[in-house]
Amino acid sequence: MNTRIQKLREQSLNAVNTISAERGLLITKFYQNELSGKESIPVERAKAFEYILNHKQICINDGELIVGERGPAPKATPTYPEICLHSLKDLEILNTRDKVSFKVDQKTRKSFEDLIIPFWKGRTQRERVFKAVKTEWIDAYEAGIFTEFQEQRAPGHTVAGKKIFRKGMLDLIKNAEEAEQKIDFLNDPDATEKSEELYAMKIVAQALINFAERHSIELEKLAEKNTDKKRKEELKRMAEICRRVPAHAPQTFHEALQHYWFIHLGVITELNPWDSFNPGRLDQHLFPFYASETEHKMLTREDAKELLESFWIKFNNHPSPPKVGVTAQESNTYTDFSLINLGGVNEQGEDATNEVTYLLLDVIEEMRILQPSSMVQVSKKNPDKLLKRAALITKTGFGQPSWFNTEAIIQELLRQGKDIEDARNGGASGCVETGAFGKESYILTGYFNLNKVFEVTLNNGKDPRTGKMIGIETGDPEEFENFQSLFEAFKKQLGHFVRIKLEGNNIIESLYEQEMPVPFLSLIIDDCIQNGKDYNAGGAKYNTSYVQGVGIGSLTDNLTALKYHVFDKKNITMTQMLDALENNFESHEELRHDLIYETPKYGNNDDYADEQAKEIFNAFFEAIDNKPTVRGGKFRINLLPTTSHVYFGSVINAMPDGRKAGEPLSEGISPVQGADRKGPTGVVLSASKLDHLKTGGTLLNQKFSPSFFNNPEGITKFIKLIRTYFRMDGHHIQFNVVNADTLRKAQKEPEKYNDLIVRVAGYSDYFNDLGEELQNEIIKRTEHGSL
């Protein structure tokens, strides 16, 4: 990393998150004063976008090579009052909360109080959503059965395809004009809507060109003032670049990055789509520019690295827009999830790795910042070299890159009906979500709390925390004669809540279609232009709505504990179990011990437990997969939690796996914390019993001690573990490389760390089984990185 990048990185890391009223004020002003009232909704939205870009402050930071900020300064984060409106109380929470706070100054507060809040109150999308959904939806939502992404953020979750690296905004305007000419006003009942949508698209494309032009002007001014000759030239060159892109297709490596960045800003300024947009298969997109320029000695590897690192900083300058209400208090870890994809196969199905892949891995290792996040797609066609290089970064323990199975992604997409080329050009975004990059609108609709549904089943339809009847009567659990009856009851309860969730989603998606078109995002994703139809209205080539199942590990252990102790071994009765749960295991410590230590658990390749995981998976899949959405797409499942397993756990009382009330649930498809005692092979064997190919992504987290990577042989064995999991169709795995802090926590709460293996000497052992002195020594060794 050179001095320039070091400085930029420092600036970005030290920049304080703030709430910026800029966008809120501009959009308020536009809807108050500038609006003629005679335009269609898409054209209104397009003109609002244009207004914001024409009036927002241009920010160019010292020394940077890629320019453009969403707010007036790095980490100055806008709000989107047309979607959800921050109250003064929300602003106060954001200002003062412990983790990831956003500072709110007096002037901003005043802007909200005087202008933004009075105008938008009663007119937000969030209010429309809560008004439109049924009471049963509200009840389930409040009980914590599911969350709903689109009550606070616009549908998004898509990734750029290769098109944008080959076309400029002027080309897209031309495409829109061609589509306009094809509209059949005589026979097509949607002709006017199409025409309005295409008109809107042209407005926003031009708006982005103008926005880049404003940067050119600013850059020229700065160049004039600057006394440093080198920087002066640089600024002039950057000004030229901003005149060329995004109007035209990029011609150079630098232009390609700047071009993408303007488009990125367009997407995240238009609305706040969930899970930030990203350039997807970046190594593939950039390679042609890199190859040609390095060949002609116009660019060195070092130049390219510096540009990429400057590009990386831009992502890190853009935290996720914070939420409102209860979630503002709870969700404090949200960065946006721009996940750069590396590796995998190209459109022809060949190994797609190239020099840029390895260059990007160097960048990831050097930058060590949260955003953008990164992943490697591992295909059977990729060489082990890719995995070995990436493993060296995993080893450093900052969670990147995560590991994905290209063949699984392709098969998942094919099962959903995508063309083979689109599947090969696809990847994973957000956390682990599968998508056909550049061609699909795949919306995450919300997390689904499988364990809460189970708790309601154990209470015959009631939520035990409130006593409220939120489910249906599926029978008194004390009357169940066998495990099958219990499971059938759960399935009925599941069907009930899934219906509520999907109905709600259709209502919400219709509201977005009508009220919140996104002509800019529609320019980017095929085939919205060709169809003359908005991204939020089903204009994309593929449309998918995902429901994210959470806590399959916990639920498996809960069901298994009942099957084992109540029905098979008959150690205790259901009545005794329910009594223990009601009392949060108080004066039932012996039972809790047996539930934790003497019960089969998911994650050990033990069929007794894993059978339940398969059954739960099938029930969830059957309830959701292939149901139609209002956008003409399908509902699908994936299994990932982000941080919702913590919130979902907080709304559930004690459970039969020995978990106490309020504690977090298992995450993704990982075993319950500490439940896996047969090493990583046991975990991946259990996890691979789920049918990953029927999902749009699963998340598996694996704890690993750094000592497993301490020599080339250890790294080879590590990558072979990944290869084997992927051979069994596993979708994703990521490694939480433990540090000294984790080990200290394990000393305090050993029951949560039963799975923690550390290397002692020429052998490894479970950390919990070591004496305290030895544990202390290992902590010391881990701290000093000498393992």
Partner 1 sequence: MNAGFAESFHFLFTLSTIFYLFHLNILCMEGIIFDIKHYAIHDGPGIRQTIFLKGCPLSCWWCHNPESQKKEIESYTKVNKLDGKKFYKEETIGYRTTTSELMKIIEKDTLFYEESEGGVTFSGGEPLMQTDFLFDLARKTKMNYIHNALDTCGYVSQDDILRLIPYIDLWLYDLKIIDPELHERYTGVSNEIILKNLEFLDETGQDIILRFPVVPGITNTKSNIEQIILFAKTLRNTKRIDILPYHNISKSKYDRFQKKNRMENVKTEGLNAESIQNEFESNGFKVKIGG
**Close Cβ partners of 149 (under 8 Å, ≥ 6 residues apart):** 155, 274, 443, 444, 445, 446
Under a CB-based contact definition with an 8 Å cutoff, are residues 434 and 428 in contact? yes
Task: Decide: is 195 part of the binding site for partner 1 (CB under 8 A).
Answer: no
Under a CB-based contact definition with an 8 Å cutoff, are residues 137 and 503 in contact? yes
Looking at the Cβ atoms of 454 and 708, the one nearer to partner 1 is 708
From candidates 135, 229, 773, 784, binder to partner 1 by CB under 8 A: 773
Closest distance of CB 781 from partner 1, Å: 11
- What is d(CA 377, CA 339) in angstroms, rounded to the nearest whole number? 11
Alpha-carbon torsion (724, 729, 732, 736), positive or negative: negative
Task: Decide: is 484 part of the binding site for partner 1 (CB under 8 A).
Answer: no
Under a CB-based contact definition with an 8 Å cutoff, are residues 196 and 43 in contact? yes
Task: Decide: is 405 part of the binding site for partner 1 (CB under 8 A).
Answer: no
Closest distance of CB 777 from partner 1, Å: 9
List 59, 84, 242, 431, catalytic entry: 431
Nearest to 731 by CA among 435, 439, 447: 435
Residues 584-623, interacting with partner 1 (CB under 8 A): 589-590, 592-593, 596-597, 605
Closest distance of CB 359 from partner 1, Å: 29
Residues 682-701, interacting with partner 1 (CB under 8 A): 682, 685
Task: Decide: is 762 part of the binding site for partner 1 (CB under 8 A).
Answer: yes
From candidates 115, 248, 760, 783, binder to partner 1 by CB under 8 A: 760
Under a CB-based contact definition with an 8 Å cutoff, are residues 219 and 193 in contact? no
Task: Decide: is 769 part of the binding site for partner 1 (CB under 8 A).
Answer: yes
- What is d(CA 24, CA 26) in angstroms, rounded to the nearest whole number? 6
Q: At residue 432, what are phi and psi to the nearest 5 degrees?
A: -145, 15
Q: How many CB atoms lie within 10 A of CB 219?
A: 23
Residue 498 Rama label (left phi>0; alpha psi -120 to 50; beta): alpha
- What is d(CA 392, CA 766) in angstroms, rounded to the nearest whole number? 24
- What is d(CA 678, CA 603) in angstroms, rounded to the nearest whole number? 8
Looking at the DSSP bridge assignments, the partners of residue 468 are: 463
Closest distance of CB 538 from partner 1, Å: 42
Q: How many CB atoms lie within 10 A of CB 14?
A: 9
Q: Tell me, yes or no, if 64 is annotated catalytic.
A: no
List 22, 433, 440, 667, catalytic entry: 433
Closest distance of CB 674 from partner 1, Å: 11
Contacts with partner 1, 621-660, as mask; x by CB under 8 A: ----------------------------------------
Contacts with partner 1, 707-746, as mask; x by CB under 8 A: -x----xx-xx--xx-xx--xx------------------
Looking at the Cβ atoms of 489 and 596, the one nearer to partner 1 is 596
SS3 of 543-598: the string is EEEEEEEECHHHHHHHHHHHHHHHHHCCCCCHHHHHHHHHCCCCCCHHHHHHHHHC
From candidates 15, 488, 750, 783, binder to partner 1 by CB under 8 A: 750
Looking at the Cβ atoms of 32 and 584, the one nearer to partner 1 is 584
Rg (CA), the chain: 27
Alpha-carbon torsion (66, 67, 72, 78), positive or negative: negative
Looking at the Cβ atoms of 182 and 720, the one nearer to partner 1 is 720
Classified as helix, coil or strand, 476 is coil
Stretch that binds partner 1, among 118-126, 214-222, 257-265, 758-766 (CB under 8 A): 758-766
CA 292 to the chain's CA centroid: 34
From candidates 381, 679, 739, 740, binder to partner 1 by CB under 8 A: 679
Query: Residue 765: in which H helix or E strand, if any?
Result: strand 764-766
Stretch that binds partner 1, among 177-185, 196-204, 730-738, 767-775 (CB under 8 A): 767-775
**What token pair was written down for 5?**
């990048």
Task: Decide: is 185 part of the binding site for partner 1 (CB under 8 A).
Answer: no
Closest distance of CB 353 from partner 1, Å: 20
Nearest to 622 by CA among 607, 601, 637: 637
Looking at the Cβ atoms of 122 and 762, the one nearer to partner 1 is 762
Closest distance of CB 380 from partner 1, Å: 11
Looking at the Cβ atoms of 113 and 589, the one nearer to partner 1 is 589
Task: Decide: is 89 part of the binding site for partner 1 (CB under 8 A).
Answer: no
Q: Tell me, yes or no, if 433 is annotated catalytic.
A: yes
Distances (CA, A) of 429 to 57, 222, 312, 438, 732: 30, 37, 17, 12, 12
Task: Decide: is 565 part of the binding site for partner 1 (CB under 8 A).
Answer: no
Task: Decide: is 51 part of the binding site for partner 1 (CB under 8 A).
Answer: no
Q: At residue 502, what are phi and psi to the nearest 5 degrees?
A: -70, -40
Distance linking the first and last C-alpha atoms of the chain: 27
From candidates 484, 514, 681, 786, binder to partner 1 by CB under 8 A: 681
Task: Decide: is 671 part of the binding site for partner 1 (CB under 8 A).
Answer: no
From candidates 427, 680, 696, 697, binder to partner 1 by CB under 8 A: 680
List residues near partner 1 by CB under 8 A: 589-590, 592-593, 596-597, 605, 678-682, 685, 708, 713-714, 716-717, 720-721, 723-724, 727-728, 750-751, 760-764, 769-774
List residues with catalytic annotation: 431, 433
